[in-house]
Structure 1
Amino acid sequence: MAAMFIAINGPFNVTKASPSLPLFHSSTPRKVSRVCFTSASKQSEAQNAVEVTRDKASNVSEKAKETGPSMSEEAKNTMREAGERASDMSERAKESMKSTKDKAEENAEWAKEKTISAAKSVTAKTEEGASSATETAQNLDEKAK
């Protein structure tokens, strides 16, 4: 920024140094540009912002150093609690799987008994139907004689 200011305002400074040069001499009075003042103030604001940022960064690092050991303890406690919760969830899952297995075994046994009962019923009805057919055949045979 400063180099640009010197490059722009250099010819004007030459006229001040040697007013006898007609090339650089101006008949109108020179007006001072506000741009140079604005940029200079912005540059000082930027320097202040850098200093403020450095201060904030050092404050944050100091706080991190102070809270570091306690945070690690908190992290250890959190990890321990998470491990306990995970083992509890594992136990609950085991119990749930066992109860599901038991229910499946009970249902399989019930289905087996129901199938056996149905098979016996079908067998009994078949035998009953066969004996009825035999009796009918014998009755027809006797009537035919």
Structure 2
Amino acid sequence: MSTHQALLDEGWRVLHDETFIGHIGSVYTRPAEGCAELAILTLPVHRNMSGAVHGGILMSLFDRAMGRHVRDLHPGERFATGSMTVEFLRRVDVGDVIRIRPIVTKDGRRAVFMRGEAYVEERMVGAASATFLAIH
């Protein structure tokens, strides 16, 4: 069975997106406890000069997963990433499936504070914190 089919069998669906995130590879989404998780099957094109998955892939997924959650919390309002800090905890290899889980730490009118966790299987490989600011 292919990894793609295994993801579909686990309840993931392909996220069809014409913005930036849709151009980095097949991104998947599924509902989880109070949020929508994102995942990507990493490919050779995602590797850095050391052969591991480039950190920018993880950063892009964090930004999208957390930003999407903010948009779901505040429908009809516009928010933008004000800041984001990422911790790379473990190496991610080509062929790994990275799963991102967004978590709200504080929801305000003008700013939403988020945390993100990245996993390969059950191993946490990265963490992020971000502030999303309302655009008026």
TM-score (norm: length of structure 1): 0.18
More strand by share: 2
TM-score (norm: length of structure 2): 0.19
